[in-house]
A = this chain, B = another copy of it.
Amino acid sequence: MGLKSSWLASANAPGCPFPLNNLPYGVFSVGDDEPRCGVAIGDMILDCQRAEEAGLLEFEETPLFDVPFWNEVMEAGPELWAALRARLEDLLGNPAHKAAVMPLLVPQADAQMHLPFLVAEYTDFYAGRNHAFNVGSMFRDPANALPPNWLHIPIGYNGRASSVVVSGTPVRRPWGQLKSPDHALPAFLPSRRFDFELEMGAIVGTASDGPVTVDEADAMIFGYVLLNDWSARDIQAWEYQPLGPFQAKATATSISPWIVTNAALEPFRVACPEREFELLPHLKDTGPMLYNIDLDVRLAPKGKAASTIARTNYREMYYSVPQQLAHHTTSGCPMNPGDLLGSGTISGATKPERGSLLELSWGGKEPLQLETGETRSFLEDGDTLTLTGTAHGDGYVIGFGECVGQILPALEDPYKR
């Protein structure tokens, strides 16, 4: 299956991240207009609200686009998802619609992007084996780097939905309670080991109120985004025993602005890695459930060019999203449209494939050399961090847009009003 051709020339250009094969969903605004739902095509955005008002997006569930988020579409369920995608392919692929649709297109260059959906709850997993091994080697012991449960269960914890922001939102270095190994008592200070985490985010589209199988979980997923789980390593080190990360991960989690649907990613399915232990029946792979998505991370010091500091691939995960989601429901935990699941940090096997500065600088012991001459152990004020993701098809690519954030300095006094 090659490039699907659009009547919009920019969508057919080689390397365009948003060809007709993609059709990702976002929320945008132009100038002072209210934000609204849109679909990326080439270098333009189809304004879904105006398309609906023009009668071009009529479904049983209409109106779907009188709100500035995609949750209503999610809640309508997989049949509507398929019908909407088919309709969009027709509107943007069939030249007969060009005259009607052209006036509904807005240049991406003119648009500001917003969070594409209301985040119901946010769960972050720890399901990349190389990352878990690296972290375990640093903080515990390379011989016993993986916790005993790790190869049996997709370890996850609940994150903070209110801290999820869209790409482009600056991220302020947090204060927190820290304890240096050379001090007897903790202090309240700005984080000195503020880090990124390269992840993919999966968006739950339909609700469940009891345990679901891996295949049912797969059908519940609406789409995927890039995700950067900003992490204060020094806050985490002091707080995380015994109940896990809390304030270390609550400053911000950035996501890319476009939801790339399950349907667009279908041609890129790949299998999970071989299992060292057979998974329990309710978690077993039922087919290829990861995706072949190239990921890279760039870091630009303030006013300087960006250096690529990591390249890896989403297929490095040990557990797929359907397996994570199936595990998430085992207790009967209700899931809702808009729940966001972070994959966990994605790291490949070798040093240039590591998805966090913690791993890239080995806890600060081996500062990373940037192409512009600087070194980095952790993020510095003014640094801009950019994640990108690309799936390479036959004659086309599927892009995610960027997931960008710049680090603002910590407040001088967090309690000064």
Contact = CB atoms under 8 A, between A and B. Distances in A.
Interface of A: 120-121, 126, 147-149, 152-153, 155-163, 172, 174-177, 179, 185-188, 210-211, 213, 232, 235, 238-248, 250-252, 277, 280-282, 327-328, 330-336, 339, 411, 414-415
A334 B247 CA distance: 11
A277 B185 contact: yes
Contacts of A155: 239, 242-243, 246
A147 B237 CA distance: 13
Q: DSSP class of A's interface residues: helix, strand, loop or mixed?
A: loop
Contacts of A281: 188
Which 7 residue pairs across A and B have the least CB separation, nearest first?
A: A244-B244, A250-B333, A158-B158, A211-B414, A247-B331, A157-B243, A174-B331
Given A149-B177, A155-B239, A156-B243, 18 more contacts: A121-B121, A152-B185, A152-B186, A155-B243, A158-B158, A162-B333, A162-B335, A210-B411, A210-B414, A211-B414, A235-B331, A247-B328, A247-B330, A247-B331, A248-B331, A250-B331, A250-B333, A330-B414
A157 B188 contact: no
A331 B240 contact: no
A9 B392 CA distance: 75
A244 B243 contact: yes
A157 B246 contact: yes
A248 B232 CA distance: 26
Given A187-B280, A188-B280, A157 B244 contact: yes
A363 to B, nearest CB: 16
Nearest to A175: B330
Given A187-B280, A239-B155, A331 B162 contact: no
A175 B211 contact: yes
28 contacts: A120-B162, A126-B243, A147-B242, A148-B179, A149-B179, A149-B239, A153-B177, A153-B238, A155-B239, A156-B243, A158-B158, A158-B160, A163-B332, A163-B333, A163-B334, A172-B332, A174-B330, A174-B331, A175-B211, A177-B327, A211-B414, A240-B242, A240-B244, A243-B245, A247-B330, A247-B333, A252-B332, A330-B414
A327 B250 CA distance: 11
Contacts of A179: 148-149
Contact of A162 (B121, B238, B280): B121
Contacts of A174: 330-332
Contacts of A331: 174-176, 232, 235, 247-248, 250-251
A188 B326 CA distance: 13
Contacts of A153: 177, 186, 238-239
A415 B334 CA distance: 15
A157 B162 CA distance: 14
Contacts of A156: 243, 246
Given A157-B157, A280-B186, A336 B162 contact: yes
Of A160, A246, A250, A339, chain B has the most CB atoms within 10 Å of the CB of: A246
A210 B415 CA distance: 9
Nearest to A241: B147
A174 B331 CA distance: 5
A160 B121 contact: yes
Contacts of A415: 211, 213, 282
A149 B282 contact: no
Of A240, A245, A330, A332, chain B has the most CB atoms within 10 Å of the CB of: A332
A411 to B, nearest CB: 8
B334 A162 contact: yes
Contacts of A176: 330-331
Nearest to A156: B246
